[in-house]
Amino acid sequence: MADEKKLTTRAEDFANWYNEVVLRAELADYSPVRGSMVIRPWGYGIWELMQRALDDMFKETGHENAYFPLLIPMSFIEREKDHIEGFAPELAVVTQGGGKELEEPYAIRPTSETIIYSMYSKWVQSYRDLPVLMNQWANVMRWEMRTRLFLRTSEFLWQEGHTAHATPEEAEEETLLILGLYRRFMEEWMGMPPLTGLKTDSERFAGAVRTYALEALMQDNKALQAGTSHFLGQNFAKQFDLKFQSEEGQEEYAWNTSWGVSTRLVGGLVMTHGDDAGLVLPPKLAPTQVVIVPILRGDTTGPVLEKADEVAARLRGQGVRVKLDAREHLSPGSKYYEWERKGVPFRIEVGPRDLEQGQLALARRLTPEGAKRKEFLPEAQAIAELPERLDAFQVELRGAAVARRDANTVRGVNSIEELAEALDGGAGFVMTGWSGDPAVEDAVKERTKATPRVLLGEEFRSPETPTKCVSGHGDSVAEVAWARAY
């Protein structure tokens, strides 16, 4: 680029824009290991805040954290037929250890259902031992051929919850509880409003009876599967002899669920809120919510730094995450550019003139239409108002994302050709009726390169639910959100 400070614009090349933001906002970098990434402190700080919020939610609903091994015997993976068929192309397998050929190879976990339910079978004997509600924060390995930072890497970080229940009704209730929890987190913390609903049989998790998903719309109008919650039925319980004695004295298999979100959410955050200047962070997930840049000049350097320290301390006292950037080798302009690129919601400038006038210069990462980019406020007012301004910024980002999703959702489509025209015309989600015939999925995918993201939950269905399938043949049994996706 002629000007190295300028990013590729989203309109020019969204994919390049995304990669540049991830690299130049110092979220992550490419690893020497093919398909893997190094998550840098700024990116990991975002992930830590995501972890903290989700972990609190899990624990509030009775779940406990545990940890299970990275290596899984291949015989475990092979027990569940659909599971091995679904994951075989992505497995990384260890065949040697300690300089010797292993008697049995180990898979590096692509997901942990098999080893977790084998352990549950040791711990559960009676209905009194149920439910088992566990979660683990871990890394997993899936040998991806085409990788992209955060969105699809061979190794990534995630949480995976695994539960065991006495009845299918309890397991289904758990599956939907977590789906709602994820949705609340994405809306309230990320400002990224997803659609929720069932996956079709062809799109469900390998080994599940039903998969529920959260699908968010990115700024390029592609969908991102942001999380999943699976009702596993008794498939894994039967393979790993996870039985319990019921209250009536009968021996029964447990009912299981699994659910997870990953560092893919960081990529979703970039693509939901970023602009042509870089990252834009919702305050709840910003490692630094306010950066203070002192304007250091000659004899006034000492008093300016003293005031900047005082302001930082007062903001921290209000629970605001603050960074004081007093680096002397960088100009104020270079600092503005860096923190804007990293998406910090607010910047405070403190200079000699501000000291004289008892004010602070407050700059907002995003400026509402018609508002000034920088305000000069009395010091006490600026400090007192910042928590409220951060809350307003959070609400604004969510509102903009909801409006963008709704503006790019098309309804009333009655044929595959109309569906193709809507997508080619820039639509994000296109809602249609569907007969349940997998051949219709194949036809739509071949014609449009779109897939059924979810069968819409009740809260997202059209006011007038479609009665006919988009294929033109047969009645509709579900309303589908179609989209091209990551």
| pLDDT tens-digit map of 293-307 | 999 988 889 999 999
Question: How far is it, in rounded angstroms, from Cα 53 to Cα 58?
Answer: 9
Considering the domain architecture, whether residues 130 and 100 belong to the same structural domain is answered as: yes
Average pLDDT rounded to a whole number, residues 382-406: 98
pLDDT at 297: 87
In sequence order, which residues have a C-beta less than 8 Å from that of residue 460 and are 6 or more positions away? 195, 196, 197, 481
**Which tokens go with 200?**
């079709």
Rounded to the nearest angstrom, the gap between the alpha carbon of residue 325 and the centroid of all alpha carbons in its chain is 29
CB atoms within 10 A of CB 41: 11
**Residue 73 falls within a domain, yes or no?**
yes
Q: How many domains in the chain?
A: 3
Average pLDDT rounded to a whole number, residues 213-221: 98
164 vs 38, 168, 205, 303, 326, CA distance in Å?
34, 10, 18, 62, 53
pLDDT at 1: 35
Considering the domain architecture, whether residues 41 and 177 belong to the same structural domain is answered as: yes
* DSSP summary character for residue 436: S
CATH of the domain at 333: 3.40.50.800
Return the biggest CA–CA distance within the chain: 84
**Which tokens go with 463?**
């006011």
Question: How far is it, in rounded angstroms, from Cα 246 to Cα 243?
Answer: 9
Name the strand (E) or helix (H) holding 227.
Answer: strand 223-233
**Residue 279 falls within a domain, yes or no?**
no
* DSSP summary character for residue 486: -
**Residue 436 falls within a domain, yes or no?**
yes
In sequence order, which residues have a C-beta less than 8 Å from that of residue 248 and are 6 or more positions away? none
Looking at the predicted structure, is the pLDDT value of residue 2 above 70? no
CB 92 within 8 A of CB 74: no
Considering the domain architecture, whether residues 106 and 129 belong to the same structural domain is answered as: yes
CA dihedral 466, 472, 473, 474 (to 10 degrees): 10
Considering only CA atoms, which of 165, 99, 104, 167 is closest in space to residue 133? Answer: 165
| pLDDT tens-digit map of 218-245 | 999 999 999 999 999 999 999 999 999 9
Looking at the predicted structure, is the pLDDT value of residue 268 above 70? yes
Considering the domain architecture, whether residues 444 and 316 belong to the same structural domain is answered as: no
Percentage of the chain modeled with pLDDT above 90: 90
Question: How far is it, in rounded angstroms, from Cα 470 to Cα 467?
Answer: 10
Determine the length of the chain.
486
CB 280 within 8 A of CB 274: yes
Considering the domain architecture, whether residues 375 and 457 belong to the same structural domain is answered as: no
Query: Where does a domain end: 215, 246, 273?
Result: 273
**Which tokens go with 299?**
């004899």
Question: How far is it, in rounded angstroms, from Cα 396 to Cα 282?
Answer: 9
Considering the domain architecture, whether residues 87 and 225 belong to the same structural domain is answered as: yes
**Which tokens go with 149?**
């930072």
| pLDDT tens-digit map of 113-144 | 999 999 999 999 999 999 999 999 999 999 88
CB 174 within 8 A of CB 163: yes
Average pLDDT rounded to a whole number, residues 200-216: 95
**Residue 226 falls within a domain, yes or no?**
yes
Helix (H, G, I), strand (E, B) or coil at 404: helix
pLDDT at 157: 98
**Which tokens go with 104?**
């049995």
Considering the domain architecture, whether residues 208 and 331 belong to the same structural domain is answered as: no
Query: Where does a domain end: 334, 358, 389?
Result: 389
Residues β-bridged to residue 260: 160, 228
Considering the domain architecture, whether residues 99 and 216 belong to the same structural domain is answered as: yes
Considering the domain architecture, whether residues 261 and 113 belong to the same structural domain is answered as: yes
**Residue 192 falls within a domain, yes or no?**
yes
CB 437 within 8 A of CB 476: no
**Which tokens go with 62?**
């009775």
Order the strands of the 374-378 sheet from edge to edge.
322-324, 290-294, 346-350, 359-364, 374-378
With 0-12 / 13-18 / 19 or more C-beta atoms within 10 angstroms meaning exposed / middle / buried, residue 125 is exposed
Considering the domain architecture, whether residues 89 and 178 belong to the same structural domain is answered as: yes
Considering the domain architecture, whether residues 266 and 295 belong to the same structural domain is answered as: no
**Residue 394 falls within a domain, yes or no?**
no
* pTM for the full predicted model: 0.95
**Residue 115 falls within a domain, yes or no?**
yes
CATH of the domain at 460: 3.30.110.30
CATH of the domain at 135: 3.30.930.10
Considering only CA atoms, which of 302, 161, 149, 169 is closest in space to residue 229? Answer: 161
Average pLDDT rounded to a whole number, residues 201-213: 94
**Which tokens go with 442?**
């194949």
Considering the domain architecture, whether residues 261 and 299 belong to the same structural domain is answered as: no
**Residue 123 falls within a domain, yes or no?**
yes
* Domain around 356: 288-389
395 vs 280, 386, 401, CA distance in Å?
13, 14, 10
Question: How far is it, in rounded angstroms, from Cα 225 to Cα 191?
Answer: 15
With 0-12 / 13-18 / 19 or more C-beta atoms within 10 angstroms meaning exposed / middle / buried, residue 57 is middle
Looking at the predicted structure, is the pLDDT value of residue 85 above 90? no
The more confident residue out of 93 and 81 is: 93
